[in-house]
């Protein structure tokens, strides 16, 4: 199905951290997507799968982005498309080396940090305390790594790669889910806590995460303290 050339449609889900990554990046670029929330609930999870997700993504996952004849999936692929489509404001740094480093950090948020959170989502806390402690420690160790990135980039912008980038969006969203699963950042990483505040204050981020807070509240689920303690979060 071909979309009107100026319409961007994003298929996401109310608790999809990868979908929210893509939505925040679109908003940071000044693009206003039509966001379609696919069916999702605690029991059936993502079933039934949305027909457009099935059509476009052989992995049957959100996010999926449609823009004219472009039909793509995977949040990181969407980041790359957005950077080509709308270079300003840049969300990758300039220069091959800096850009490679930022891409690596974005990937680490998804593929090194977030797997600890996925483990925590599925472990039975009362029956598997050692595995829970191990995954929680893995997440915390990653926070110390990111604290060092912030220390290194302090004079150039206060974000994970100096200036604000896709790497920040990726770790911010993943860490929100870490917090939901009791592996949130603590005072042991103060620069990271301050970074999280800076991120939450960005209008694009605030819009998306306050919607998550409202969704959780309506579903009778706990709201992460980093959102609940803010105006609009409660
Ligand atoms: N690497 C993918 C991961 C996408 C992903 O895991 N999506 C989840 C929601 S956050 C999903 O659609 N899960 C449903 C399923 O796998 O059946 C990305 O960055 O977009």
62 CA: nearest ligand 1 atom: 12
pLDDT in tens, 56-102: 999 999 999 999 999 999 999 999 999 999 999 999 999 999 999 99
pLDDT of residue 122: 93
| Neighbour-count burial of 83, counting CB atoms closer than 10 A to its CB (0-12 exposed, 13-18 middle, 19+ buried) | middle
Atom of ligand 1 nearest to the CA of 76: 19
Q: Is residue 36 part of a domain?
A: yes
* C-beta 62 within 6 A of ligand 1: yes
User: Taking 80 as the threshold, does the pLDDT of residue 42 lie above it?
Assistant: no
Nearest CA owner, ligand 1 atom 16: 61
* Pair 137, 58 in one domain: no
**Residue 17 CA to ligand 1 centre (angstroms):** 8
Atom 20 (ligand 1) nearest CA: 74
Q: 196, 175 in Cβ contact below 8 A? A: yes
Contacts of 180 (CB under 8 A, 6+ apart): 222, 224
Residue-range definition of the domain harbouring residue 157: 96-201
* pLDDT (tens digit per residue) in 200-224: 999 999 999 999 999 999 999 999 9
For residues 165 and 210, the answer to whether their CB atoms sit within 8 Å is no
Does a structural domain hold residue 24? yes
Query: Does residue 208 lie within any of the structural domains?
Result: no
The CATH number of whichever domain residue 182 belongs to comes to: 1.20.1050.10
Which CATH number belongs to the domain containing residue 21 in this structure?
A: 3.40.30.10
Q: For all residues of the chain together, what is the average pLDDT?
A: 94
Total tally of structural domains belonging to the chain: 2
Collapsing DSSP states into helix, strand and coil, what is residue 59?
coil
β-bridge partners, 8: 67
Which residue's C-alpha comes closest to atom 6 of ligand 1? Answer: 61
- Choose one of 14, 17, 18 to mutate for the ligand 1 pocket test, by most ligand atoms within 8 angstroms of C-beta: 18
**Shared domain check, 140 and 171:** yes
3-class secondary structure per residue, 219-234: CCCCCCHHHHCCCCCC
pTM greater than 0.85 (yes/no): yes
As a whole number of angstroms, the distance between CA 36 and CA 39 comes to: 10
CA of 178 from ligand 1 middle (Å) equals: 16
Say whether the peptide bond before residue 220 is cis (omega within 30 degrees of 0): no
Q: What average pLDDT score do residues 18-39 get?
A: 97
Q: Are residues 107 and 197 in the same domain?
A: yes
96 — phi, psi (to 5°)?
-60, -40
For the chain, helix, strand, coil in percent to 5 are 55, 10, 35
| Contact 18 CB / ligand 1 (< 6 Å) | yes
């Amino acid at each position: 199905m071909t979309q009107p050339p100026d319409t961007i449609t994003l298929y996401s889900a109310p608790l999809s951290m990868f979908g929210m990554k893509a939505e925040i990046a679109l908003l940071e670029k000044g693009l206003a997507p039509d966001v379609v929330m696919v069916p999702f609930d605690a029991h059936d999870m993502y079933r039934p799968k949305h027909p457009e997700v099935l059509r476009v993504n052989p992995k049957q996952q959100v996010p999926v982005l449609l823009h004219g004849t472009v039909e793509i999936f995977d949040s990181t692929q969407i980041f790359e498309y957005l950077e080509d489509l709308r270079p300003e404001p840049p969300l990758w740094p300039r220069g091959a080396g800096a850009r490679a480093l930022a891409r690596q950090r974005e990937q680490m948020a998804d593929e090194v940090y977030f797997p600890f959170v996925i483990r925590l989502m599925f472990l039975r806390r009362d029956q598997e305390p050692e595995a829970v402690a191990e995954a929680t420690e893995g997440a915390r160790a990653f926070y110390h790594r990111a604290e060092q990135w912030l220390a290194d980039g302090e004079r150039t912008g206060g974000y994970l790669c100096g200036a604000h980038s896709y790497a920040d969006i990726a770790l911010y969203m993943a860490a929100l889910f870490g917090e939901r699963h009791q592996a949130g950042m603590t005072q042991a990483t103060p620069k990271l806590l301050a970074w999280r505040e800076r991120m939450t204050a960005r209008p694009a981020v605030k819009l998306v995460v306050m919607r998550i807070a409202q969704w959780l509240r309506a579903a009778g689920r706990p709201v992460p303290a980093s959102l609940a303690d803010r105006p609009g979060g409660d």
